Structure 1
């Protein structure tokens, strides 16, 4: 992909180009203002150089000094004014465009979150939102605008010098060509592969770090934290080595650029000394004017190699956005009817960018009302299986069906059938009553008190200053972990869904609180299908069946009592969990 030029990527673009046409007048204004800023900077040094030289001799006419003074003042004021306006216009243009891009991206992701979650991990989606839009923003502010402005200046300077001397204008055109075209092209060719590698390593770190921070408890409880830290250090080392190579090349290239600018100054000094021969400050006054004007104009050209080099990053971002599929809004959602049995048939799942199969040929039946525990170490695929059961992911192969309908086809209606209690239930910054009514907005206050009594929170809420109308702080931090889980259970009971998925809800709780919570869960959910994802075997005897997933495959299945009698692996897990090993 890094061999594809940026202009070819932009030629097939359907994300950025529509906004270019929409805001083209503002873009043209930004380019003209940028040119005027550098023109004023060069003209300021030009008139200042002439004025300094001219002031050293007795002028034949006061206008020979007065006019340069006026021009110096005008260009001195014009430079910062044009710079300020250019920044306002260009940033306003880019921010308008990128805000529309973000809106388009959010709408695209919103249409079918299930599809995107299958194709992209959470880290990938965050990378799209946080990185790629910013890259497009920088593409214009740091690459396209400066490059076009530099080209305009290049043409203007060559034509201007051609008025005095065509051979010298040709020489300057050749030397500036090295800065404007050769060095940028060299940067793209040599550093392109390194920048591609740098971006891949950053994306890998971004994606993996995001996903693993969210699942940090799995790493801790599986005692594999050091393994992750070691992997992270290795990738960081590769990234640092790649960045060191980039910096080394950039220093070498910048040295060559400064040498070329120095040669331009020397050549200009030599040419003006020959072109404008005068005595005692006559035509020789133009020497300082021409030489000094080079330095501010050099600023317009010196950033082009870096700007061109960064196109390797930007084109990847544009391509990723254009690779997002357009999801039809007219897809119909199906509603399950009859017994709410879950059938998993030859299930295979893997992310598109990952060759490893997270789940590989799993078949499992979960009749309505069954209590099933899913065991497995971190990374085994148990949480992915839970996401597939909820319909949050689409299988790569095979099926996950609820009452004969594929769960990913049910859509948002899945919440009417499957409720979830996660590791860290979230409470919103609103009243307790509103937090509990999230699943059932029509619930009566009497019903809310009833479920609070069932989950053991009635007395706690009664003792609060405003009862059900007590405001909950952000994330519900005023409540303990066990209390937040009981709140989540109260939501489920108000919603009255037939299937409840417990995603390691007792992680981080002390043994007494954990056991009390488990007892409450299974007492209140006794008539519902329970799918309990856990790595901890406390309370496992309450389940009718236990399955064990390892490396994406089903390795063990049976009742807790059967496995405790006949399965050595389960016996060992039970002994470790109870601290007997």
Structure 2
């Protein structure tokens, strides 16, 4: 995906708004020039002491008209420009979200939270400025330049030849030089800022561990080093900008001097009364000053290009989303019955992009409505990959994963109508208990939420909180224990009431008593639903309809708890490790 797609797509879509803002900007700048011209003429005419004040009536009215029109045109131009920029920003953020949302479960494998925040907050804010501070001012200045040269040529050929090249330096040469001189520092600046985002996000996530290890000073040293390099770059860029501004002012002074020289030579302006000379000088000063902001605007283009590149790379990695009607994650299948679900994996194989090893290999599995299966294996055996394939996160490389006869990865957002997932780290939002549970079904009433909490056996704990269901939970649910957070997440799932549930290591990290209680609660509350339990522990296996043993991406054995204890030595050894005080059958 080319980076220009993130620019020209919106230029084309909003070309009328861009044209309107550019024309309004040019008219506003033209009004400033007209105001200075008529003011100079009025001052010169008044200095001649006309016989009647009525002779000054027209220039007085013109001064007022240009003064009012300049303010009005600038206001309307900024209104249109900011409306345009905010509309484009909203479209871009929506597009960004549509790209990453289908891949939310694996987005972190390429970008961490700081990088995602950098793209959302940094890159897109840069691109908002691209329109307001670069594209529209440059287009307005170009229209003004063309009009000024034509107007000067109509007044006097020598005047046009004098101010044309001088203004051209301000309009084109200096912006081009600014772009070239600050291209690399600007890109480096953005990269340092991104590194700071990554470092800060990483540190905030692991602040407790840093403090516990006594490494907070080391982190501060790293962050301070990044900050120092950023400040050094800013100092260099500011120095270059100061030198450029001095050069711009010198060219403006030169331009004004050329107009003064022109006005002092009668041969270059035959027939033009002397009363107009001050008007031309002041108008030239205003005209030249209108082009001064172009050079700083061009400095930001390298940063804009870097932001466009990053967004384009991200879209190239995760897929296009600028046409949501073609996005399978949002279309989903046509209406089907979602009250029951049957899942079929038929000779499924999958390997991650850029790898040659199979994450899962030749997996076949059928899950009719109401069946409870456990997928058992060590870490890295392919359990989580199977879960992702079942959820439709990845399409299989070979074989098929069908949910009610349709490929899982084509269900899109409608997958949430048939499937709920409880993993080992459910997120608790910084809102009330009621709203945390109601995430599962936003339209649910308070009574339905309480019923789900009772089924998840968490209501007693909720009622013990200061405000009950209205108690605000801290970020990540810090006022709850690990088991309580998972029961809140279980209540969400029960409130949602989907026919199929995947439990991905739901008891990892819990003590044995809490683990058994939570799993007992889950199995009791999900009676009649299809259940896939992904785990490396054998707690609750006796209540599973089927247990799949998986190793190196392959199913090595399958059966009930009793059958596997009977025939599989590895399963018996595993059971003995998990239940050291329970005797397994001997053979």
The answer to whether the superposition gives a TM-score over 0.5 is yes
Work out which of the residue numbers 282, 304, 313 in structure 2 matches 1:314.
Answer: 304
Work out which of the residue numbers 403, 419, 424 in structure 2 matches 1:416.
Answer: 419
CA distance in structure 2 between the aligned counterparts of 1:419 and 1:216, rounded to whole angstroms: 26
Structure 1 residue aligned with 2:239 = 248
**Matches of residues 153-552 of structure 1 in structure 2 within 5 Å?**
153-207=144-198, 209-210=200-201, 213-214=204-205, 216=207, 228-275=219-266, 283-319=273-309, 320-321=311-312, 323=316, 325-326=320-321, 328-329=327-328, 368-369=373-374, 394=394, 413=415, 416=419, 418-422=421-425, 424-426=427-429, 429=432, 431=434, 435=438, 438=441, 452=454, 455=457, 457-460=458-461, 470-471=469-470, 473=472, 480-482=479-481, 483-491=484-492, 499-502=502-505, 517-518=514-515, 520-524=517-521
Q: Please say if residues 390 and 418 of structure 1, whose CA atoms lie closer than 8 Å, have aligned partners that are also in contact.
A: no
Q: Please say if residues 472 and 478 of structure 1, whose CA atoms lie closer than 8 Å, have aligned partners that are also in contact.
A: no
Shift of 1:127: 4.0
1:293 is paired with a residue whose SS is: helix
CA distance in structure 2 between the aligned counterparts of 1:155 and 1:286, rounded to whole angstroms: 22
CA distance in structure 1 between the aligned counterparts of 2:130 and 2:454, rounded to whole angstroms: 55
Shift of 1:169: 1.9
CA distance in structure 1 between the aligned counterparts of 2:299 and 2:409, rounded to whole angstroms: 43
Structure 2 residue aligned with 1:139 = 130
Shift of 1:501: 2.9
CA distance in structure 1 between the aligned counterparts of 2:171 and 2:333, rounded to whole angstroms: 55
Shift of 1:285: 3.4
Q: Please say if residues 149 and 160 of structure 2, whose CA atoms lie closer than 8 Å, have aligned partners that are also in contact.
A: yes
Pair 372,78 (structure 1): closer, same or farther in 2 beyond 3 Å:
same
2:48 is paired with a residue whose SS is: coil
Q: Report Cα offsets for 1:264-283 as digits up to 9, x if no partner.
A: 122222322334999xxx94
Q: Please say if residues 347 and 400 of structure 1, whose CA atoms lie closer than 8 Å, have aligned partners that are also in contact.
A: no
CA distance in structure 2 between the aligned counterparts of 1:13 and 1:284, rounded to whole angstroms: 50
Pair 449,391 (structure 1): closer, same or farther in 2 beyond 3 Å:
closer
Q: Please say if residues 418 and 500 of structure 1, whose CA atoms lie closer than 8 Å, have aligned partners that are also in contact.
A: yes
Structure 2 residue aligned with 1:18 = 12
1:35 matched to 2:26: yes
Structure 2 unaligned regions, length at least 5: 366-371, 525-530, 542-549, 551-570, 581-587
Structure 1 unaligned regions, length at least 5: 351-356, 376-380, 508-513, 534-539, 548-556, 566-581
Q: Please say if residues 252 and 289 of structure 2, whose CA atoms lie closer than 8 Å, have aligned partners that are also in contact.
A: no
**Matches of residues 52-67 of structure 1 in structure 2 within 5 Å?**
52-60=43-51, 62-67=53-58
Shift of 1:291: 2.0
Pair 400,362 (structure 1): closer, same or farther in 2 beyond 3 Å:
farther
1:481 is paired with a residue whose SS is: coil
Structure 2 residue aligned with 1:579 = none
Shift of 1:183: 0.6
**Matches of residues 57-136 of structure 1 in structure 2 within 5 Å?**
57-60=48-51, 62-110=53-101, 113=104, 120-136=111-127
Shift of 1:228: 4.9
Pair 253,503 (structure 1): closer, same or farther in 2 beyond 3 Å:
farther
**TM value normalised by structure 1:** 0.68
1:15 is paired with a residue whose SS is: helix
Aligned length: 517
1:16 is paired with a residue whose SS is: helix
CA distance in structure 2 between the aligned counterparts of 1:387 and 1:241, rounded to whole angstroms: 48
CA distance in structure 2 between the aligned counterparts of 1:65 and 1:461, rounded to whole angstroms: 81
Q: Please say if residues 344 and 401 of structure 1, whose CA atoms lie closer than 8 Å, have aligned partners that are also in contact.
A: yes
Pair 159,96 (structure 1): closer, same or farther in 2 beyond 3 Å:
same
Per mean C-alpha deviation after superposition, the further-off stretch among 169-178 and 324-333 is 324-333
Q: Please say if residues 174 and 295 of structure 2, whose CA atoms lie closer than 8 Å, have aligned partners that are also in contact.
A: yes
Shift of 1:349: 6.9
Shift of 1:142: 0.9
1:176 is paired with a residue whose SS is: helix
CA distance in structure 2 between the aligned counterparts of 1:393 and 1:209, rounded to whole angstroms: 29
Q: Please say if residues 11 and 18 of structure 2, whose CA atoms lie closer than 8 Å, have aligned partners that are also in contact.
A: no
Q: Please say if residues 37 and 82 of structure 1, whose CA atoms lie closer than 8 Å, have aligned partners that are also in contact.
A: yes
Structure 2 residue aligned with 1:568 = none
CA distance in structure 2 between the aligned counterparts of 1:338 and 1:409, rounded to whole angstroms: 14
Per mean C-alpha deviation after superposition, the further-off stretch among 391-400 and 424-433 is 391-400
RMSD (CA atoms)? 5.5
CA distance in structure 2 between the aligned counterparts of 1:541 and 1:344, rounded to whole angstroms: 25
Pair 167,465 (structure 1): closer, same or farther in 2 beyond 3 Å:
closer
CA distance in structure 1 between the aligned counterparts of 2:239 and 2:100, rounded to whole angstroms: 40
CA distance in structure 2 between the aligned counterparts of 1:392 and 1:222, rounded to whole angstroms: 40
Shift of 1:302: 0.3
